Structure 1
Amino acid sequence: MAQQHLDPTDPTATEVTGDALAGYLRAQATEFLRALRLHRENGGGTANGGAANKTEEAVDAARALRRSARRISGSLHTFRPLLDTDWSEEMRPELAWLSGTLGLEHAYESRLERLLLALHRLSGAAVFPGQAVSDAAGRRSGAAGAAAPSADAAGASAAVAAGSRAAEAMGDPPARAESRARGRVGAGTPSNASGPAHPTATPERGNLTVGAAKAGALLERQLTLARTRAHSTALQALGSSRFHAVADKVAVLASEVPLTPAAPTTDLRPLAAAAEERLTDAITALPLLTAGHPYNAEALVHGLSPDPSPHPQDGPWHQVRLLLRLHRYALEVLCGGSTPVDVRLLAASQALNRHRDASEAAAAAAQAARTPRIAPATAYALGVLHADQRHEVEAARFAFQQAWQKQTVNAP
């Protein structure tokens, strides 16, 4: 696959030195401190700001904190030869810890909303009667005990497998995955938005409708508990001495960047090109030929097994997502405050984000299906839901393949 070199990394472009890196890091550190101040002013850093009472400003401030922390950490990784080694090696894992800790609550909330919307779309009935499925702000009514135990683990596992297989018969998987990849049908979009997606009168649909409410209640109970714990962990982290040490270092970074003596005269473009090359190599190792087909039946085999380990096909795609993020941050450093918007690169990034979301949602559905003594109808619904999200994974891979191949073809 030919490697694309955008203008900022072209050898004929204007030289960009370590001074640009220093300016970028100072700007991101300033954004970090501004977001931290807003977060504290809006009650996001106190025990009184519960998950249901957090203001929109506090949520935005936490997102800005994560965004600046990721950019600082990514820049320290890409341009580490130009920075003080001890300082950068100590700073990077702390920023990664902070970003990951602050992002967990939002991840669980988004995952729950995604799964409930998918259940609503697949079953054709409200997951919770009288409740808006899109209410993901912590005001969901309690149906925590709705998943009544009635079947043994063997029966539930069989129902999960049957549900996943039934997902194959509830529509045309290749056409459905392709239409999602092309943006005509998205996660959370009601099936009647573009005509009926599945046959309306089938035994599979009846079984799914019966178990959808209890499956939704089980998912709500598990993911809401995880979200509450993540919120408490984030509050503890923001009040810890570890976080204060990170904030102090970022405050110093806002005024003084520990560059090496040679950095002010060193060109940044070779390091940015190396980041792009690592990305290209990782993409070359992906099964893009398989992803070019709108449906990959092999992707469901692992999900039907009792093995709770992560899906073996997902790891390389997640790695590409991280490398693509590092590449984008490197371009921001080279371009300063005038980074051009590359639509194709943006489309590839969005596809990988959808891939990550669907993969984690499928894992959550599979984990819920392993709950002991759940009813067969509940396990069946979770099996259909798992298969649906794995189809979304394949659709996202297809979308990435289309975006990246277009990017490669258009490369000079």
Structure 2
Amino acid sequence: MAQRHHELTDSTAAPVAEDALTGYLRAQAVEFLRALRLHQESGGAPYGGGGAAGRAQPRTGGAGHSPDAARALRRAARRISGTLHTFRPLLDPGWSEGIRPELSWLSGTLAQEHACEARLERLLLALHRLSGTSPTPPTAPVPSSAPARQPADLTEPAPAGAPTPTSPASPTATVTAVTAAATLTSPHPLPDRAHLTVGAVKAGALLDRQLNLARTRAHSAALQALGSSRFHAVADQVAVLASEVPLAPAAVDADLRSFAAAAAERLTDAVAALPLVTAGHPYNAEALVHGLSPDPAPHPQDTPWHQVRLLLRLHRYALEVLHTGDRVPVDARLLAAGEALDRHRDAAEAAAAAAQAARTPRIAPATAYALGVLHADQRHEVEAARYAFQRSWQKQTVGTST
């Protein structure tokens, strides 16, 4: 029988919404405002809000922003948004449904720059591991005061006599990449090290240019977001939340454990729908071939896993609400499952970036081969993460089911 998280519905005293829920939301709002102040002090765009948040922030100018401030803003915004989602019947619907998508927009916008940086580092290290070449050091993002410069050429000339692809969905690049992927689907993956080394350096340079361009654009988008009137409106609402939480009448006698248990149920049901049987096998050729096809759409097998990662996060936030003011009990099994899903997301996005680079027009066959091997390697990392999640979740179910 599927695990149903009985620990959330025991007979202990129920947390009171007016205490636990409001306390948690206020604490996260204060963390948000602290991160905003850190952003200001680090030279970020001045916050010009007219509400309590605007009066509380120093108005220092500048063109940059602190990665620590952006990370803290994301963290607080995610927790506020997730809590509003899980406990939405207990909150004023007009207010909560208005601010929740804005917080999701903010956290998503601020996450892009770090995601590009981490993806590039992951891919370069994988190229180094696969080929034995030195990884290309990531290039620092262009400051927002300088215009983002498009590289003169994101492609490389093919050697004399080599076929020259002419479209992003290049047959030569795709077939070469699929051939490379096939070498890694065997029980003993042994890519042609000599051929791989030839293309790895140029593949790394191509990835460096593409992902650093994306990182620069994400950096500019984050700065624009933090200086926009849309962000000012969000910050003003969060400042109000730090002092007053708009509760619905239903919150007076509500038992928060029932809402946290519902979040756990949604997680359990989503995990039950995953193809865990496939995740128990080391090779998934269908996943490899789909990712190297000319279709740039997201991988269909990844979506339910990403959804489980989101639901696991909401479950963790609900537990934090239940233990407001206390230390949240550490569940090693949940931590292991979350780490596996984080690795799954990172590897899936890295594989997509490698496949996208392989679709670049006019790249040499050796470069396409290196990118194909890199893509296959990251899809194997996806499968390994799924297997690790399966193991950790099964242990969790065995350890808590009755």
**Could you say whether these structures have the same fold, taking a TM-score greater than 0.5 normalized by the shorter chain as the test?**
yes
- Indicate conservation of the 8 Å contact 2:4/2:265, yes or no: no
CA–CA distance in structure 2, aligned partners of residues 348 and 13 of structure 1 = 27
Provide TM-score, normalisation by structure 2: 0.87
User: Does the alignment pair 1:104 with 2:112?
Assistant: yes
Once residues 286 and 152 of structure 2 are traced to their aligned partners in structure 1, the CA distance between those partners, rounded to angstroms, is 35
Q: Deviations over 1:224-266 (max 9, x none)?
A: 0010000000000000000000000000000000001231321
Which residue of structure 2 lines up, in the alignment, with residue 79 of structure 1? 87
The residue type paired with residue 398 of structure 2 is V
Shift of 1:14: 1.6
For the 8 Å contact 1:147–1:217, the answer to whether it is kept is no
Q: What does the per-residue CA deviation read over 1:166-224, in whole Å, with 9 as the maximum and x for residues that have no partner? A: 3345x736xxxxxxxxxxxxxxxxxxxxxxxx5xxx7x111110000111111111110
- Aligned-pair distance for 1:6? 5.5
Task: Name 2:356's counterpart in structure 1.
Answer: 367
Alpha carbons of structure 1 residues 23 and 393: separation in structure 2 relative to 1, 3 Å: same
Residues 1:225 and 2:213 aligned together: yes
1:253-272 matches, cutoff 5 A:
253-272=241-260
TM-score normalised according to structure 1 size = 0.85
Q: How many angstroms apart in 1 are the aligned matches of 2:62 and 2:229?
A: 20
TM superposition shift of 1:308: 1.0
1:2 Cα deviation after fit = 2.2
2:359 and 2:45 mapped to 1: Cα distance? 35
Q: Which residue identity lines up with residue 173 of structure 2 in the other structure?
A: A
Q: Which AA in structure 2 matches 1:155?
A: T
Alignment of 1:6-405 (within 5 A): 7=7, 9-19=8-18, 20-45=20-45, 48-50=62-64, 58-128=66-136, 133=137, 135=138, 137-138=140-141, 147-150=155-158, 151-152=164-165, 153-168=170-185, 172=188, 204-337=192-325, 338-405=327-394
Matched to 1:74, the amino acid is: G
Q: How far does residue 350 in structure 1 lie from its aligned partner after superposition?
A: 0.6
Assess if the C-alpha contact under 8 Å between 2:155 and 2:362 holds in 1.
no
Deviates more, 1:289-298 or 1:390-399: 289-298
Aligned length: 369
- Between stretches 291-300 and 237-246, larger displacement belongs to 291-300
Contact 2:29 2:238 in 1 (8 A): yes
Aligned-pair CA distance for 1:163: 1.8
Instruction: State the shift of 1:48 in Å.
Output: 4.6
Indicate how the Cα distance of structure 1 residues 4 and 44 shifts in structure 2: closer, same or farther if over 3 A, else same. Answer: farther
Is residue 185–residue 283 contact of structure 2 (8 Å, CA) maintained in 1? no
Find the aligned partners of 2:118 and 2:69 in 1 and give their Cα distance: 17
| Matched residue SS, 2:255 | coil
Residues 1:145 and 1:22: Cα distance change in structure 2 (over 3 Å): same
CA RMSD of aligned residues (A): 2.0
Deviation of 1:146 after TM superposition, in Å, equals: 7.7
Unaligned runs of 5+ in 1: 174-197
Runs of 4+ in 1 over 3 A off after TM superposition: 44-50, 135-139, 142-147
Pair 1:409-2:398 in alignment: yes
Which residue does the alignment assign to 2:56? Answer: none
8 A contact 2:178–2:289 mirrored in 1: no
Measured after TM superposition, the shift of residue 138 of structure 1 is 4.5
The CA deviation at 1:361 is: 0.4
C-alpha deviation, 1:366, in angstroms: 0.4
- Of all paired residues, the percent bearing the same amino acid is 70
Q: 1:63: how far off?
A: 0.5
**Structure 2 letter corresponding to 1:323:** L
Q: In structure 1, what residue type is equivalent to 2:115?
A: A
